[in-house]
Every structure is written in C-alpha cells, then in structure tokens.
C-alpha cells in the first residue's frame, strides 16, 4: 500500500506544483483580471481588451477602456463571456433621463467585438401599467424583446418589475420604447428598462418574475457580454485561442414494454364516428368521471363529432397518462376585410367552474399579422396575463406567423385584444389573428392561415388547443382487492377511484415517477401493476391538488400517506450494506491519498522556501555580518534584531508605493508599522539592472549595520534591526516623521517658519552628534557624507544624523583614512579632494557648509537660469565675509528674528570650519562648545572678541575653486551624491 501511495504521489506531483507566477497575474481591488483582458501592455490580446483600474467611492474598480464599462468578478474567458455593470435607461423620469416614451441606451458597442448576449441576458423593466419593448431602432428594426408591467395599484407591482424570457438576437446597441396598457388615468410614470444577467433571477425572490434587488432607483445592473474572435496584436505566447468545453449528453433510459392487461371489471368501450371515447370521458352514464366529462355525439357537416357537453367544444384527442384533452379552440381575427368592410371577430372562452384549464406546458399564445401588440387576458379582468409583439409591417403585408409567447399557469378563461405599436404605414394594412394553440400543431396551422387581406373565405376558424384536467402527485396507494379497477385497452395502466377528486393509477413501468407498493420481499409476487401514483382531478376551482389528499389519507413529507398504512416498508438487507461499506472505504482511501499528497507538497514547498531564505541570507552578507558582529569587542550583537521577511512585507503593505518616504543613492525608504504598533522606517537596498544586487552596495550595507550598531546617541537615528532573507537586504530604523533639514530650509512653510532659535538649536544638536561620533563613541567614526539632506527631524524638530552607508570606523592610533573620494559636491572637503585622505576635520568642513545653509537659506550649489555658470555658496559666503556684506547674504527671516551679534558669531565660526587647511579647523567638540557658548552668552561683544579673526580668506576662495571647477558650464543637483576617483 505504501509503495502504491508513493507512486500515486509521484504521478500527481507535476500537477500539484503550481507554475511560476506570471507578470500578468493582475488584480484591481478584489477583482482578478484574466487573459485576454489585462492592464499592462502585453497582458491583453488587443487594445479592445485593455483594462484600467480606476479609483471610485467603493475603492479601485476595473473598467474596459474601449467601452468604459465596469468589469465584475464573473469571468468565463473560455466561453468568451464577461460580466459588466450596465447602465439602465429611464423613460418619463425628469432629470434621470428621457422625458418621452422612446430613449436610446447610453451603451453603444457598435464597432467593438463585444455584444449583449441573447443567451445569458434578459430584457427587464421597472414600473407599472406599460408594455415596454426593445429594438435596435424602433423606426427601422423589429422588436427583439419586451415585457408587460403589472397594473398600477396592484400590490404585487411594488415588489419588482417584469422581464422577457427570451431576447431574439444579440445586440450591440438598443432603443427602449413603451406604450400605456393598464394605466387608466394615463399618468406619466417613471419607468426604467435595461439588459440584465439572467442569473440574477432566483426562486427565493418575493417576485419570481423579477430580481428583488432591482428597483426604480437602481442605476446599474449586471449584464453579460460576449465577444467575437479577434486577432492578437501583442505577445505571441498570449495569443492562444480559447476554446469552450463541450457538454456531453447522455441518452435517456429506454422504457420497458407493458405487460398483459388485467380483465375488465366493467366495460365502457364507446365510439363517436371513428373517435374512441376513453375514461374519464364517456357518453353513457357510469362511463364518465362526472358530468363535466360527459360527451355528446353531434352530427356536423363532416359527420359525427364528439363534443364536451360542459364547455360545448369539439373533442379531438384524449390522453389519460398526460391528463389532457385536445379540443377545437376558436380564432380571434382583427382588421380583416370581409365584403369590402373591416371586420373584427373577437372570441372569449370561459372554462371557469369546470375541471379544465388551458395547459401552460403544451399551449402557446400565437399571433399572425404585423404592426400590433396582441394581449391575452382573463375574460373576467382586463389586466393582461400574456402578450405577443408582431413585427413591423413592410411593403408586402402578409399574415405569416409573426410571434408567440407562453401562457400563464392556471388559466381557465381568456380574451384577446389588439393594440397598434408601430407608426402608421399609410395604406399598408394587415389582417391579424390571435389564438391559443397546442405548439405541436403550429406548423400545420401556419400553412392554413390566409395571406394578405384576402380573408373573405376564412376556412380556418378553429385550432387545436390542449386542456389539462388532472395533476399527477406523489402518494402511497395501490389497486386493492374488492375495489372497482379499470384498465386501458392496451394494458398500459390501470386505475381505481379514491374519491370524487382522486384516482390511484398503477403501471408495470418502473421508470414512471411512482412508488413501488411491493417493497417487502415476498409480497404481491404476481402483481403486475405495482408502480402507483395519485391523480388529482381539477373538479372545483378551490381544489388545491398540490396539498389536498383523498379521504383516508393525510399530507406528510411532500406526499399523501394512508392514515392506517397498508404498505409496510422493511429495512434494507445486510447485503445492501456491502456496497455502502465499499463506497465509504474507497472514499476514505481517496481522501487519505489526497491529504498525503497535499502534505508532501506543502512539506516540499516549505523546504524550498527555507533553502531560498538561506541562499539570500548568505548572498546578502549574513555570514560576513555575523563574523564582524561576533568579533566586536563591545558586544553589540544584542542591539540588532533580525526581522523576518513576512513581518516586513506586512509592515509595508508589500512595499506599496504609497508607503515610500524617500529615494536615495543606496536604496528606497518605506514607512511601516510592526505588529506591536510601532512605526518604523525600512530601508530597502537597490538592485542593479532590476534583479542583481551590487557588491559595492552590499559592502556599504554591512558597513552601515556595523557603524549603527556601535552608536547610541539621541541625535543619531537608531538602527532597530535588519532582514537578510530577502532578495535585497533591509534595514529597520526608528521612524523620524518631519523629513529632512534640507526640505525645512529650502522649502519653507509659512505656517511654521524656521526661526533663528531653531536654527541655532539644530546646529548644536548636529555638532553634538558629530562630536560623539569622533571622540565619545567606543570607536571613532567618520561620517563622510554630512549634508542637510542626511539630517532628519523628529516630531519636536530635533536633529538626527542618518545615512551611514559611506561611514568608516577608525582605530585610536589612526589620524586619517585613505579611500576613493566619495561625497556630495558643495559639501566635499577640498583637502580631501586633493589628497584622498579623509580626517575628522573633513566632517568639520561639511558641517561648516550646513551652518552656512542655516545662515543664508541658500543651496550649496546653485545656478543662474540666464548664465550657464554654477555658483558655490562657500565661495560666495567667504567673499561676503571679506568684503563686509555678510548681512546682505543672510536669510531675511534670520535677520528679522536673530540678534546681529549671534549671527556674526556663528558666521565667523563657519568661516573657521571652512578653512582650507584642515589643521586650522576646530574639532567638532570645540565647535559644539562654542555654539553652546553663543546660545548661552549674554555678551555678544565678548564672544566676537574671543573668536579668532586671523584667517586667509583669499587663499580659501582660491583653493575651494578646485572642488567646484569641474562643474563649470553645467548645472548639478546639490542633492546628488557623487563618487570621484582621486
């Protein structure tokens, strides 16, 4: 068994492992977009099938761009079917739509491959008192669908509307028209009409004629579109033809021939002419069920013919098994000429009070003619129960069969009325007729209907119509000994009376819907007619055949059962249990195999996922990072948390573009929320060429983790952890909400101005952070990329230094680093640019540039639109110091808000930081102390005297030109980080 399970698993495995995700697995909101539709180019077969994902009040929704219809989540691409939201058309609704009785739909699919499917759509309408119909154009084309609304004031009309059971053709556009029928006061009422998906019709609706959730206020309804085949104009692999599956039919079981009949207890073989009169009809007393089934044999011009006495209609056929009788039904004529005058022959037929009903199974309401609507109504009420729309009259007016419709169930009487619906055709007139006819005779009737207006010798005055006189129902009954039993002459079935309204009919055919009265073994062994059912006769209008039972029976569990049961049901034999055991065992075994296969598949997928994460961990420098953290003397490993990829995907909503905080040279920063509710910033490293991770970026990533793991300062962004099991490594920082210092300076907010006090405080916080990195940290750290865009501001606008990708840690005995030149123009130390030796004084120079930015509010590198010359802020600042026009360069907000003495003191400190000779620059610790002194000192004059004023300004201007000369003649963005080889 185990070997078979393994072999079965191996066979099923290729089908269970899913294919790799395609780039065309697209979603819009909660709706998946399947081929041949698509959003991205190459994912749809043609421009007609392009989908756009539009924002709506209910979230993102997909729309077919070419026809501007919303797609619903119901797709059947193999059958070329799609569900859309179809706008409704309004008539007589004021500002909702047309104020007339004709209006074109707002949807026009002409020229596109799409069309409204006649197989899956219905034409519906909401309103009352009107006949509403649809056509391509009522002026030129025929009616293809229609429905009759209920009478206004009818309580049932409030529950819904009406719909047509069949649309005659596919439509690309349509026009809706209506005429008043049962609106006695001719009040113009608001009516809506539309095409809708037939699957909306549910048997559970309050009104089975109409979906319960569509009202006059509904503006859009689901409808089904089909499309014609169209050539692919995109990728060849997406151009496979979609073929629909073929339904397989199964032949019905063949019936067995009946056995020999039982002998008659009473013989009632009667004839009228050459017509046999069978039960329940009869001529003589005792041969018919009751007086309603009494037949008289009358003499006619064609000889003796049988007539049903109770309704005075000629009897053409009797079927006991179908509970029907075919009679000759009179025809109604309208607009016909008889001896040069127009004659209308209207017929009303009333079977009320008899057991006969017009069969809705065999009969149809048929109309011949053109240009009119014919209505079928109960003769006691003028409210129509059915209708039929004739085609438009042409030049050659004929009376060929034009339309037909079903009739309602339970119809016992009817009358026919005719109403013109098309514009007048001048002299073109049509002789029309309407009648209820058995659909099996429609072809022969059509050949006998007279053509054109020549109707003098109307030979066809009657058509065959089927009456239903009984209803088969489930019931436990049998042919009991001692009762009167009658049998058909050919022995097909026998029956016995159970009362005035019920018969028990038994047959030898096991395929008839019946009950076996011989369920117990050994009982009625020789009984031929053991498959029995009850037959209910419609003797009175109030008799409910669905739930009524004869005397001695009661209605239990959807059938009539004897109060004192004569039929005993025995429990199945033990031999019947064996197939059940075998079936259950097979099912359990199959389920076990499927569960085992599923388990092994999930286990294999889990192992592959673990291996992939291990591969990414190793590729992303996880081993190298572990080695460097383990060799760290300070033991900072505990400060770094390793996050799972799943946790960070959930935190960033799968790296949604709406979560992007910024993009830099090393990666993209996303805003995320962890499971504990804390807000974080997640830095995702960039890929080279879309799918390759740059080794240089990897080294910078590991360096940033190492540097940040050694820092613990309130003015430095805190590293919370990282994730190495994804394709690109991720860093998780504390979230700093108020952006960068660069944006605060150069994109000022009038509601929140950057005051001198804030600028001085931010400068002190940056200086303290750099002083900590240079001298107070466990290992000295050179930042190497100090600039205003790398200074973040928290919720209280406190400065936090960030982006340590290019930073380096330095041993105590080291005084400088010799590296490839890296930095940002405008902030780059000229001494470092010339020598490739980076010292702590290089960070001091960059900080001096940030101080000048805070003083002036200007960018380090700027250009004039009129001249292609790049200007260095440092050069301009030093020149202003030399020529004594510093205050003209200072930001207006600073001049209006800050003390002049403090501004000059900070400017002189900036000048010292920008000294070309790094040895003459102060350390960051000195800078921090002097800034604190400036903020706390009360005597600005003493501060000014204490500062060193002896510096060579001219030499600094000349030397600083080296760092910016290469940019002459071009405009550079000051926020771009460049890397130059020394």
**Mean confidence (pLDDT) of the chain:** 76
pLDDT tens digits, one per residue of 840-899: 888 999 999 999 999 999 999 887 555 566 788 999 999 998 888 888 899 988 888 888
pLDDT band of 668, cuts 50, 70, 90: confident
- Is the pLDDT at 145 greater than 70? The verdict is yes
Mean pLDDT, rounded, for 178-195: 78
Residue 239 buriedness (CB in 10 A; 0-12 / 13-18 / 19+): middle
> Which of these ranges, 7-11, 267-271, 296-300, has the smallest mean pLDDT?
7-11
d(CA 821, CA 977): 11
Q: Looking at residues 470-474, what average pLDDT do you find?
A: 82
Q: How confident is the model at residue 261 (pLDDT cuts 50, 70, 90)?
A: very low
pLDDT of 332: 83
pLDDT surpassing 80 at residue 383? no
pLDDT at residue 760 above 90? yes
- Is 207 labeled as catalytic in the residue annotation? no
Check residue 486 and give its pLDDT. Answer: 78
Give the β-pairing of 719-723 and 641-642: parallel
Q: What is the mean pLDDT of residues 533-559?
A: 75
Is residue 326's pLDDT more than 90? yes
Torsion of CA 375, 377, 383, 389, to 10 degrees: -10
Q: What is the mean pLDDT of residues 83-108?
A: 81
Banded pLDDT at 449 (limits 50, 70, 90)? low
pLDDT of residue 951: 44
pLDDT of 80 reads 84
Is the pLDDT confidence value at 775 over 70?
yes
Residue of higher predicted confidence among 942 and 497: 497
Q: Please state the rounded mean pLDDT for residues 58-87.
A: 87
Q: Give the best-scoring range by mean pLDDT among 420-429, 518-527, 577-586, 599-608.
A: 599-608
- Which one of 164, 438, 785, 829 is the catalytic residue? 785
Q: What is the pLDDT of residue 401?
A: 55
Q: Is the pLDDT of residue 54 over 90?
A: yes
Least confident of 16-20, 308-312, 961-965: 16-20
Burial label, 236 (beta-carbon count in 10 A; 0-12, 13-18, 19+):
exposed
* pLDDT value, residue 684: 85
Per-residue confidence (pLDDT) for residue 265, from 0 to 100: 35
Task: Quote the pLDDT of residue 429.
Answer: 58
Report H helices in 374-413: none
Looking at residue 18, its pLDDT comes to: 36
- Residue 963 — very low, low, confident or very high, per pLDDT cuts 50/70/90? very low
Split at pLDDT 50, 70, 90, the class of 966 is very low
CA 101 to chain centroid, in Å, comes to 34
Mean per-residue pLDDT, 906-915: 92
* Distance (Å, whole) CA 829 – CA 914: 8
Phi then psi for 343, rounded to 5 degrees? Answer: -130, 135
Least-confidence region, from 63-67, 699-703, 977-981:
977-981
Rounded (5°) CA angle 604-608-611: 140
661 pLDDT exceeds 70?
Answer: yes
Better-scored residue on pLDDT, 480 or 579 = 579
Give the pLDDT mean for 900-928: 91
Burial of 148 from C-beta contacts in 10 A (0-12 / 13-18 / 19+): buried
Backbone phi and psi for residue 700, each to the nearest 5 degrees, phi listed first: -65, -35
pLDDT grade for 618, boundaries at 50, 70 and 90: confident
pLDDT at residue 551, as a whole number: 82
The answer regarding whether domain 617-734 maps to CATH 3.30.200.20 reads yes
| Distance, CA of 158 to chain centre | 30
Most confident option among 384-388, 548-552, 932-936: 932-936
Of 266-275, 335-344, 400-409, 780-789, the poorest mean pLDDT is in: 335-344
Confidence of residue 959 (pLDDT cuts 50, 70, 90): very low
What pLDDT was estimated at residue 523?
A: 59
pLDDT at 965: 34
- Local confidence band at 563 (pLDDT 50, 70, 90 cut-offs): confident
> Over the stretch 801-847, which tens digit does the pLDDT of each residue have?
988 777 776 655 555 555 667 778 889 889 888 888 888 888 999 99
Q: Give the mean pLDDT of 408-421.
A: 83
Count of beta carbons in the 10 Å neighbourhood of residue 17: 12
Least confident of 408-417, 646-655, 702-711: 702-711
Average pLDDT over residues 211-238: 78
Token duo for residue 739: 């952006």
The string of pLDDT tens digits covering residues 196-212 is 888 777 644 445 556 76
Cβ neighbours around 331 below 10 Å, total: 21
Please compute the mean of the pLDDT values over residues 104-122 and round it to a whole number.
87
Mean pLDDT value across residues 590-616: 89
List the domain boundaries for the chain. 69-227, 270-310+471-518+527-562, 324-468, 617-734, 741-979
The pLDDT assigned to 445 comes to 73
Local confidence band at 23 (pLDDT 50, 70, 90 cut-offs): low
In DSSP notation, 249-317 reads: P-PPPPPPPP-PPPPPSS---EEETTEEE-TT-BSSTTSSSSGGGBEEEEEETTEEEEEETTTTEEEEE
| Mean pLDDT for the stretch of residues 217-237 | 79
What is the pLDDT, as a whole number, of residue 254?
30
CB atoms within 10 A of CB 860: 26
Residue closest to 549 by CA, chosen among 559, 540, 539: 559
CATH class, 741-979 region: mainly alpha
* CB-based contacts of 343, cutoff 8 Å, min separation 6: 333, 336, 337
What is residue 978's predicted lDDT score, i.e. its pLDDT? 34
Residue 341's pLDDT is 47
- Nearest-angstrom CA–CA distance, 392 and 438: 26
């Amino acid at each position: 068994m185990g070997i078979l399970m393994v072999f079965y698993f191996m066979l099923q495995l290729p089908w269970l492992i899913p294919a790799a995700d395609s780039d065309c697995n697209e979603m819009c909101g909660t709706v998946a977009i399947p081929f041949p539709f698509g959003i991205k180019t190459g994912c749809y077969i043609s421009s007609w099938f392009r989908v756009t994902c539009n924002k709506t009040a209910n979230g993102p929704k997909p729309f077919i761009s070419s026809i501007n219809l919303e797609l619903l989540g119901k797709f059947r691409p193999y059958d070329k079917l799609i569900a859309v939201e179809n706008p409704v058309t309004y008539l007589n609704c004021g500002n909702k739509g047309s104020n007339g009785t004709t209006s074109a739909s707002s949807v026009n699919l002409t020229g596109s491959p799409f069309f409204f499917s006649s197989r899956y759509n219905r034409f519906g309408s909401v309103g009352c008192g009107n006949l509403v119909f649809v056509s391509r154009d009522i002026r030129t084309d025929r009616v293809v669908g229609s429905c009759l609304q209920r009478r206004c004031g009818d309580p049932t009309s409030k529950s819904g509307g009406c719909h047509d059971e069949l649309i005659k053709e596919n439509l690309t556009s349509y026009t809706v028209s209506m005429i008043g029928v049962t609106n006695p006061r001719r009040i113009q009422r608001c009516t809506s009409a539309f095409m809708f998906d037939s699957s909306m019709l549910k048997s559970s609706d309050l009104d089975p004629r109409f979906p319960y959730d569509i009202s006059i206020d509904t503006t859009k309804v689901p409808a089904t579109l089909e499309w014609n085949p169209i050539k692919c104009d995109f990728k060849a692999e997406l151009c496979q033809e979609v073929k629909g599956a073929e339904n397989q039919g199964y032949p019905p079981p063949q019936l067995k021939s009946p056995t020999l009949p039982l002998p008659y207890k009473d013989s009632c073989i009667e004839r009228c002419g050459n017509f046999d009169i069978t039960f329940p009809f009869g001529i003589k007393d005792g041969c018919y069920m009751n007086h309603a089934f009494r037949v008289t044999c009358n003499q006619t011009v064609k000889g003796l013919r049988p007539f049903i006495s109770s309704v005075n209609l000629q009897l053409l056929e009797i079927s006991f098994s179908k509970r029907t009788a075919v009679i000759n039904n009179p025809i109604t004529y309208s607009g016909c000429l008889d001896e040069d005058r127009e004659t209308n022959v209207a017929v009303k037929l009333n079977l009320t009070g008899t057991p006969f009903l017009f069969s809705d199974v065999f009969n149809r309401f048929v109309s011949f003619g053109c240009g009119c609507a014919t209505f079928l109504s109960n003769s006691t009420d003028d409210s129509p129960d059915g209708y039929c729309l004739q085609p438009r009259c042409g030049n050659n007016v004929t009376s060929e069969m034009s339309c037909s419709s079903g009739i309602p169930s339970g119809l016992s009487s009817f009358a026919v009325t005719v109403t013109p619906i098309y514009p007048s055709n001048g002299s073109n007139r049509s002789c029309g007729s309407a009648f209820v006819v058995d659909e099996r005779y429609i072809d022969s009737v059509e050949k006998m209907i007279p053509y054109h207006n020549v109707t003098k010798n109307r030979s066809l005055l009657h058509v065959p119509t089927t009456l239903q006189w009984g209803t088969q129902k489930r019931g436990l009954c049998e042919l009991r000994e001692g009762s009167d039993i009658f049998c058909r002459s050919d022995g097909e079935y026998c029956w016995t009376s159970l009362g005035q309204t019920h018969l028990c009919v038994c047959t030898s055919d096991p395929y008839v819907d019946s009950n076996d009265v011989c369920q117990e073994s050994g009982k009625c062994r020789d009984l031929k007619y053991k498959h029995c059912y009850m037959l209910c006769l419609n003797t009175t209008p109030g008799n409910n055949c669905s739930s009524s039972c004869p005397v001695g029976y009661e209605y239990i569990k959807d059938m009539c059962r004897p109060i004192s049961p004569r039929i005993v049901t025995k429990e199945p034999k033990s031999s019947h249990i064996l197939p059940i055991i075998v079936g259950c065992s097979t099912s359990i075994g199959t389920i076990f195999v499927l569960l085992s296969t599923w388990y092994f598949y999930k286990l294999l997928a889990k192992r592959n996922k673990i291996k992939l994460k291990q591969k990414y961990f190793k590729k992303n420098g996880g081993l190298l990072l572990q080695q460097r953290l383990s060799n760290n003397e300070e033991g900072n490993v505990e400060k770094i948390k390793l996050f799972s990829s799943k946790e960070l995907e959930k935190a960033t909503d799968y790296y949604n573009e709406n979560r992007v905080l910024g993009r830099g040279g090393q990666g993209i920063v996303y805003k995320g929320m962890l499971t504990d509710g804390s807000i974080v910033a997640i830095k995702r490293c960039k890929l080279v060429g879309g799918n390759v991770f740059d080794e240089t970026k990897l080294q910078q990533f590991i360096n940033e983790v190492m540097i940040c793991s050694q820092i613990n300062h309130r003015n430095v962004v805190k590293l919370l952890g990282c994730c190495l099991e994804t394709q690109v490594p991720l860093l998780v920082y504390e979230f700093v909400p108020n952006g960068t210092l660069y944006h605060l300076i150069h994109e000022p907010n009038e509601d929140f101005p950057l005051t001198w006090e804030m600028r001085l405080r931010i400068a002190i916080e940056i200086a303290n952070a750099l002083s900590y990195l240079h001298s107070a940290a466990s290992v000295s750290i050179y930042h190497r990329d100090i600039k205003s865009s790398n200074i973040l501001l928290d919720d209280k606008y406190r400065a936090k230094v960030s982006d340590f990708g290019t930073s380096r840690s330095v041993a105590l005995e080291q005084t400088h680093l010799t590296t490839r030149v890296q930095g940002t123009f405008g902030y780059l130390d000229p001494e470092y640019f010339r020598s490739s030796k980076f010292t702590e004084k290089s960070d001091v120079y960059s900080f001096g540039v940030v101080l000048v930015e805070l003083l002036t509010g200007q960018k380090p590198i700027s250009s004039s639109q009129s001249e292609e010359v790049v200007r260095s802020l440092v050069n301009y600042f030093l020149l202003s110091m030399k020529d004594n026009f510093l205050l003209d360069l200072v930001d207006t907000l600073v001049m209006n808000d800050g003390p002049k003495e403090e501004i000059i003191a900070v400017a002189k400190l900036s000048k010292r930081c920008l000294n070309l000779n790094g040895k003459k620059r102060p350390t960051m610790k000195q800078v921090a102390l002097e800034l604190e002194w400036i903020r706390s000192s009360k005597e600005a004059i003493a501060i000014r005297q204490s500062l060193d004023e002896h510096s060579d300004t001219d030499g600094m201007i000349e030397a600083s030109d080296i760092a910016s000369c290469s940019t002459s003649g071009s405009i550079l963005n000051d926020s771009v980080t460049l890397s130059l080889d020394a």
